[in-house]
Amino acid sequence: MTDGTKCVACGKSIPEDSPFGSCVQCLAKVAFGRGDAETSTLPVAEVQELFPNLVILDRLGRGATGWVFRARQPDLQRDVALKLLPADLPDGNGSLAERFILEARTLARLHHPNVVTVHDSGRAGGWLYLLLEYVPGGNLRKLIDREQLPTVRILEMAGQVCQALEYGHREGIIHRDVKPENLLVDDQGSLKLADFGLARSSGLGLSEPGLFASSGGLGTAYYAAPEQADGKKVDHRADLYSLGVVMYEMLTGELPVGHFRAPSVRRAEARGEVDRIVLKALQSDVSLRYQSAGDMKRDLDRARDKYRRGEEGGIEEHAGAES
């Protein structure tokens, strides 16, 4: 903790026990990626002071919900991910803290091999924290930016996401933010669904106008189902649309924006089964979309098995689709 009564970043008067000698406004700028180069890092040594029972190893990154560090639990001899968010944010950002707490409570309900596990949560100093399973392979975004994945692996990975979604939907949880950044790759190459900060119970329809208009990063519009982006009521089928966007991007390197073409236009081997699966997931009309993650998973498994046997996915041609 830094002593003094002035913010180290802006010089504003602050309480002496302010986290890292910074005011809440500057902490928010840094946490959400809006700080300058000199104030955009959170020193490992100072984080270590807050968590004496952990060994803070390195900083993994920073995003819309704060910083993430890799840490070690010496007694258990395991690495964990430590996620931090300033507890006292400026007016107008309180919902971010609420989402952080929501994520902890949601993950605590879920126990599935394709969902990131939460170990602990709470408050330390001026910070909310989540202690999560550490997934060593980074996120799917880094993987697909680095290499073009074979079609059969894309089908396998999409099936793993379907398993996570099917389980969550069965538990009454809609993720609402399925995108490559929230899909983590484990040391076996399998995917784990993470970041449940936008999750909601599916007991009732939800309406959140303006959700994607915020500069704070409350969701990613390109991966959102049309009804979600428009602030209308959503159900579990919105997650399946988002998975369709992820698959489209993995197959083509593009996003299905506007009048988009079938994946096979960019990847010929996707013609037939794969085209059909992706285009069905991307239907704007929810009644024409997959009605459950289980149904989508069955089609993915069938297509995957055909590719493993070296069979053609089919010969059906697909016209472009409106999104």
Catalytic residues: 177
Q: In whole angstroms, how far apart are CA 16 and each of 47, 155, 171? A: 17, 54, 45
For residues 77 and 96, is the Cβ–Cβ distance under 8 A? no
The SS3 of residue 112 is coil
The CB density around residue 150, as the number of other CB atoms within 10 Å, is 11
Give Cβ neighbours of residue 222 (< 8 Å, ≥ 6 apart).
245, 255, 257
CA 92 to CA 98: how far, in whole Å? Answer: 12
For residues 270 and 317, is the Cβ–Cβ distance under 8 A? no
For residues 315 and 273, is the Cβ–Cβ distance under 8 A? no
The CB density around residue 320, as the number of other CB atoms within 10 Å, is 13
Residue whose C-alpha is closest to residue 167's, from 302, 293, 296, 298: 293
| Cα of 311 vs its chain's centroid, Å | 34
